[in-house]
């Protein structure tokens, strides 16, 4: 009887050990690998038109990087890895950001993204009611791996869930 119980227990322990290894592998992504993961997650959650209209910034060398960093109040030094797709034009409440803050910089990143959301709400409150509604539903969340995820767009709940699932799966 004991032998019969030991085999399933041993199998369960093997499965649990291999799950732990997979979690460790995800945490060991380099900054470059994590940036690619973030960019892919964002692009796969959007249609081709949005990917072309509002490309994800993954480097400070991108043409719009200084403007976008200014909009969300962060610098390259505040982030280990990132992909940020924010409309710099003030006619659309749109922004998606996946950022792994640099050590000790999480508050700067979270505060900057929250300030961006608050500004968008204020900008559109009396200007464009449909865009104000989108800004109102913006989501800002910190994932288990430390990624700060902000989503402000139509269907923000669904888009956030899609990106979050991709990041957590590491694909």
DSSP string of 104-170? T-HHHHHHHHHHHHHHHHHHHTTT-HHHHHHHHT-EEEE-TTS-EEEEESTTHHHHHHHHHHHHHHT
Rounded to an integer, what distance in angstroms lies between the CA atom of residue 102 and that of residue 79?
5
- The pLDDT tens digits of the residues spanning 80-112 come to 999 999 998 878 999 999 999 999 999 999 999
Bridge partners, 141 (sequence order): 149
Q: Looking at the chain, how many residues does it have? A: 171
Q: Residue 100: which of 66, 152, 149 has the closest Cα? A: 149
Please state, as a whole number, how many other Cβ atoms lie within 10 Å of the Cβ of residue 16.
Answer: 9
Window from 9-13, 53-57, 78-82, 132-136 with minimum mean pLDDT: 9-13
Bigger pLDDT: 25 vs 119: 119
pLDDT at 126 over 60: yes
Would you state the pLDDT for residue 155? 94
Rounded to two decimals, the pTM is: 0.82
Residue 67 in this model has a pLDDT that exceeds 60: yes
């Amino acid at each position: 009887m004991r032998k019969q119980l030991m085999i399933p227990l041993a199998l369960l322990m093997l499965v649990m050990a291999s799950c732990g290894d997979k979690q460790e592998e995800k945490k060991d992504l380099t900054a470059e690998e994590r940036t690619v993961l973030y960019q892919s997650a964002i692009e796969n959650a959007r249609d081709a038109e949005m990917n072309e209209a509002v490309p994800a910034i993954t480097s400070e060398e991108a043409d719009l990087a200084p403007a976008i960093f200014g909009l969300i109040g962060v610098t390259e030094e505040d982030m280990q890895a990132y992909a940020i797709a924010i409309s710099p034009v003030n006619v659309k409440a749109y922004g998606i950001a996946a950022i792994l803050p640099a050590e000790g910089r999480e508050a700067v990143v979270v505060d900057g993204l929250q300030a961006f959301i608050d500004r968008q709400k204020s900008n559109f409150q009396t200007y464009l009611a449909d865009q104000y509604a989108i800004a109102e539903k913006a989501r800002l969340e910190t994932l288990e791996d430390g990624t700060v995820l902000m989503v402000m767009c139509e269907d923000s709940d669904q888009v956030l869930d899609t990106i979050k699932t991709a990041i957590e799966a590491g694909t």
